[in-house]
């Protein structure tokens, strides 16, 4: 396995004048950007920059076409049925808030239940706390076992006839667990509940079909799949989006405005009030082109090989504690771990001195950390531009960090 050919496309990852390069293992937080994405954004600003949907002149028409083409590309990428089911947001966080405000507040009632997992990112947890409190509903949690997986009996115990909404991460950002979202969705639908899938850690790494999952909503962010920051996506089934009121009101999301009332535009414009992040959509479309040129199956294969190799090496180190599934088929390209006697923040700082970038902390998953009885972990997250040599440097940094702190005990 040699992924070195990809590195030439990523300026941040290229070797410096001394032949050294950054070992970037924090793609779970954000991915690096290939020159193809940077050039697409630059080209947009150089030749097509105008406000879309607002002008009858060529430049505005070109901007509109670029924006609409990006929406259609995303539709195909996640296998949605209609391009109007794709709503652009600032990020995944705004996506969850949009659904919570526009769907949750209008469809959850007193005595209803909302079900999420204990492993959710705060952005897919706090909005449901707010909805449950406002609507006098019950927020229930599906808990994980010692391997970070949700047992089948836990799913069936927590999702009941009173459940109206299930919001679940496809891949845990803290543990790397791949949740059985298709099975969860099928069971939730059998109870009459709608399902929201957090695709932030799955859409960039594997083939995701919203029609195969039968998800009612899917949320993800662009910056985690090579796109720029500031662009996110909400997919929603057309029949649900059509009955939901707007989330942000203003220009371009209206049909008619009178002194005392207004009528709203059709999908998707109803949810895209104000000037939109056109360059972000253009950059995200270029990122999808890049990923599809490699192939999502190939990307999945590369990450699985890297993850397997890293886990094998970590398991040879008795002072390293691993979190998450032992079964590789249930795990994405995320490895959370601790080094005995060393705080995760210290680990990350020492790793940085060795040119290895990882994440440390609670990963915006405090309830999960509390449930597991820990405060923080180290997290290495892989992408297709990582190499076996990157893993070797990760392992070497782990050994050196342990040995350094061992001397001080």
Segment 199-222, tens digit of pLDDT: 999 999 999 999 999 999 999 999
Handedness of CA 181, 185, 188, 194 (dihedral sign): positive
Token pair for 43: 């080209």
Residues of the chain with pLDDT under 50: 1
Q: What are the two backbone dihedrals, phi and then psi, of residue 167, each rounded to the nearest 5 degrees?
A: -125, 120
pLDDT of 16 reads: 81
List, in order of start, the domains of the chain with CATH numbers: 4-31+295-406 (3.90.1150.10), 38-292 (3.40.640.10)
H helix or E strand, kind and range, residue 287: helix 278-294
DSSP designation for 265: P
* Residue labelled with tokens 């890293």: 310
What confidence score (pLDDT) does residue 54 get? 83
pTM of the complete model = 0.97
Helices 296-314 and 388-406: angle between axes, nearest 10 degrees:
30
Region for 108 from its dihedrals, namely left if φ exceeds 0, alpha if ψ lies in -120 to 50, beta otherwise: beta
Q: Nearest to residue 116, comparing CAs of 88, 142, 147, 85?
A: 142
pLDDT (tens digit per residue) in 366-400: 999 999 999 999 999 999 999 999 999 999 999 99
Q: Annotated catalytic sites, by residue? A: 364
The SS3 assignment for 208 reads coil
- How confident is the model at residue 2, as a pLDDT? 56
* Helix (H), strand (E) at residue 268: none
**pLDDT value at residue 1:** 43
CB-based contacts of 277: which residues, under 8 Å, 6+ apart?
Answer: 88, 90, 230, 231
* CA pair distance 224, 248, nearest whole angstrom: 24
């Amino acid at each position: 396995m040699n992924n070195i050919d990809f590195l030439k496309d990523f300026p941040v990852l290229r070797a410096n004048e001394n032949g050294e390069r950054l070992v970037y293992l924090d793609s779970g937080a954000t991915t690096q950007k290939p020159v193809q994405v940077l050039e697409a954004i630059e080209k947009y600003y150089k030749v097509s920059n105008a406000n879309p949907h607002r002008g009858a002149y060529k430049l505005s028409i070109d901007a509109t076409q670029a924006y609409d083409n990006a929406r259609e590309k995303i539709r195909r990428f996640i296998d949605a049925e209609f391009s109007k089911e794709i709503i652009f947001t600032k990020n995944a966080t705004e996506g969850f808030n949009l659904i919570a405000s526009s769907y949750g507040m209008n469809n959850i009632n007193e005595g209803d239940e909302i079900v999420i997992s204990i492993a959710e990112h705060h952005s897919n947890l706090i909005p449901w706390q707010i909805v449950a409190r406002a609507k006098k509903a019950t927020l229930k949690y599906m808990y994980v076992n010692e391997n970070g997986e949700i047992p089948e009996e836990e799913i069936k115990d927590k999702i009941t006839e009173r459940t109206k909404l299930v919001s679940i991460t496809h891949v845990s950002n803290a543990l790397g667990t791949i949740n059985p979202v298709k099975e969860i969705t099928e069971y939730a639908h059998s109870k009459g509940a709608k399902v929201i899938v957090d695709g932030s850690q799955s859409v960039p790494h594997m083939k995701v079909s919203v029609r195969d999952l039968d998800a009612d909503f899917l949320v993800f962010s662009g910056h985690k799949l090579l796109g720029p920051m500031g662009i996110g996506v909400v997919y929603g089934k057309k029949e649900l989006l059509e009955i939901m009121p707007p989330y942000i009101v203003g220009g371009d999301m209206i049909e008619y405005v009178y002194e005392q009332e207004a009528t709203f535009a059709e999908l998707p414009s109803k949810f895209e009030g104000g000037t939109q992040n056109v360059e972000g959509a253009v950059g995200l479309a270029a990122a999808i082109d890049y990923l599809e040129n490699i192939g999502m199956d190939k990307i999945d294969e590369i990450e699985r090989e890297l993850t397997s190799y890293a886990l094998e090496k970590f398991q040879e180190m008795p002072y390293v504690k691993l979190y998450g599934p032992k079964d590789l088929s249930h795990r994405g390209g995320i490895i959370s771990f601790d080094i005995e006697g060393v705080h995760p923040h210290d680990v990350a700082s020492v790793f940085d001195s060795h040119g290895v970038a990882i994440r440390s902390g609670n990963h915006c998953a405090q309830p999960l950390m509390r449930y597991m009885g820990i405060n923080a972990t180290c997290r290495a997250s892989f992408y297709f531009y990582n190499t076996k040599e990157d893993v070797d440097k990760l392992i070497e940094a782990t050994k050196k960090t342990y040995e350094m702190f061992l001397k001080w005990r």
